[in-house]
Amino acid sequence: MKDMRMHRVDESPTDWRPANIVEALQQHAVAKPNDVAFRYLDNTGNESTVNSYAELVATCERVAVSLQKRGLVGKRIVILLPNEPAFVYAYLGCVLGGAISIPIEPARRLNTQERLEGVIRDARPSVILSSQGTLRSVFSQASSVPPEFHGVPIIEIDALSEEIAADQSEVTWKPAEISHLQYTSGSTSQPKGVMVTHENVIDNCHDIAQVAGEEVQHTVVGWVPFTHDMGLVGLLCLPVLMGFPFVFMQPSTFVMRPHLWLDAITKYKGTISAAPNFAFQLCAQRISEARKANLDLQSLVALFNGAERVDASTITRFCQTFQACGFSANALLPCYGMAECTLMVTSRRSNTKLVIKHLDEHGQIHDQHADRNSNTSLVSCGTATGTTKVAIVKPDESEVLPSGSVGEICVYGSSVTPGYLNPHDHAQTMKHGAEVWINGFPYFRTGDLGLIDKEELFVTGRQKDIIILAGRNVFPDDIEKIVEESHEGIRSGRAIAFAINVDTEEKLVVVAELANKFVQISQDELENTVRIAIAQQAQVALHDIHVVRSGELPRTLSGKKQRQQCAAMYHAIWKRS
């Protein structure tokens, strides 16, 4: 087979870094062809597929050749696959073959086809790359799997990976060219396609590796979807780029059996992993003492907690729960990032103290004390990584705010992506409109609110989610935590708070999921309990609470609460007349 190495246009022989992750992968295949590249675990935690670097490159090259033979060099390709080896082959095959991938989660839910339709309208892909099993699931209501979807042909990855490879065309990627389109989670708006470049991926992965410790030979273990930036960049691109073996499983495997995540870390001596806050809560709640007795977590040096607001009580409980399993609190690293910045923006370092502050009703921060209201605790997400710079500005203005003041988080650096695919179709653009110039540099406005204290970033919430009651800013996360802890009948992490307009005045509304075993509970009792808890702890009045069945609250693929969508559903379906 013809050598198909990627060449960086501006590469320097004295200071070489790979132009993209596939070039790095090919180097690993030459240097250590028989070393394990990845292990895929089934829903019982057993190895289902193991690939060496030589095997991985061979399969990805077959996919790349097949894509090139079909004239798809430079074209956009939807990857509609779950967390399985086929996704790895498809993603790396697209980069190797010169195509731009668009990962989309094939969730078994009614909105999968709707989301796919939206991506097709926005990205205009040339083909959809999937598998027979995935297609049967997505199109389960159809009599047969269609050969195309909204005019876009569907190709099965199994057929591509089994084709006999011929000579490949050499592809030269420039660092500024697009690696993939990362569609945002849509927690406050319709998903938008973020254009992530090869240089973005390279720089962000190196920043993450620096935080984790580059002197360590790492093993990455995870379950977060590869269709999410945390999964794609942090759990797939990072190990492939750096030459670390990685172990992965389906998200559903973790949700059904949380212990399998920690079992895998124990078995394979995982050093790096990452997950949203709810995963730490799930582990602390559901892993039994008997299972904990078999865990050994002392190998972990970087367990990142990100993708949603980091909760102080959750990480404290996790550290206490698994301390006896060898887990060190120094390894738990709260972080902050987003797809528009590739992945990571800030993170705690293992050699620094975990900082928790208290935010009072006037928006002022104080050192955390035991007598403070824990619902207003803010966990530090650490300091900026690499050469990234973070500033806090007055929302909708360009005034930089002093240390300790809450404002909009703005980011500058090589990990900030070029923008959205179709910026004119979206209210917010990135480097063309939604930027603020600070000291001569264009900073990206994230839409998130937070503050910086002693260079450490504290995130308070989304600007669009802030509730203003009688002139006072109320953070929905604080209200939701109060609600979830007020009554055992409300599912943990399953309450959403937002405001509605009543006679020109904003009023507080909560929608919460009820645990199945409490379906017979008195609604009046539950409502009164929640009202009292909110009044006592947040000093605000609750206008309405609506209780729904388990699984009815809208959430993104990574588990984030979709408050704006929930508010729309409340108005359309649940609002009391």
**What confidence tens digit (pLDDT) does each residue in 194-245 have?**
999 999 999 999 999 999 998 788 999 999 999 999 999 999 999 999 999 9
Q: ∠524-530-534 over CA atoms, to 5°? A: 145
Running DSSP on this structure, what letter comes out for residue 562?
-
Question: What sign has the CA pseudo-torsion 555, 560, 562, 563?
Answer: positive
> Distance between CA atoms of 503 and 525, rounded to whole angstroms?
28
Residue type, 391: A
Joined tokens for residue 546: 């609506």
> Distance between CA atoms of 114 and 200, rounded to whole angstroms?
29
Residue type, 198: H
Which contiguous run of DSSP H or E holds residue 97? helix 85-97
Judged by DSSP in three states, 177 sits in: coil
Judged by DSSP in three states, 297 sits in: coil
Judged by DSSP in three states, 195 sits in: strand
> Distance between CA atoms of 233 and 246, rounded to whole angstroms?
12
SS3 content of the chain, % helix, strand, coil (to 5): 35, 25, 40
Joined tokens for residue 219: 């093993």
Q: What is the pLDDT of residue 44?
A: 97
> Distance between CA atoms of 536 and 70, rounded to whole angstroms?
64
493 torsion bin: left (phi>0), alpha (psi -120 to 50), beta (else) = left
> Distance between CA atoms of 410 and 384, rounded to whole angstroms?
12
Question: pTM value?
Answer: 0.84
Judged by DSSP in three states, 221 sits in: strand
Joined tokens for residue 179: 């690696």
> Distance between CA atoms of 263 and 277, rounded to whole angstroms?
19
Residue ranges in the chain whose pLDDT is less than 50: 1-15, 187-188, 370-374, 427-433
Q: Where are the alpha helices (DSSP H) in 387-540?
A: 476-486, 523-538
> Distance between CA atoms of 280 and 503, rounded to whole angstroms?
41
Residue type, 37: A
CB 155, CB 127: distance < 8 Å? yes
Question: What sign has the CA pseudo-torsion 218, 220, 221, 222?
Answer: positive
- For the chain, domains (ranges, CATH) are 18-173 (3.40.50.980), 466-574 (3.30.300.30)
Which residues are CB-contacts of 524 (< 8 A; sequence separation ≥ 6)? none
Which contiguous run of DSSP H or E holds residue 40? strand 36-41
> Distance between CA atoms of 8 and 499, rounded to whole angstroms?
50
The predicted-structure confidence for 399-417, as pLDDT tens digits, reads as follows 999 999 999 999 999 999 9
Across the strands, what pairs with 208?
Answer: none
Strands 272-275 and 302-305: parallel
Q: What is the pLDDT of residue 141?
A: 63
Joined tokens for residue 181: 């389109």
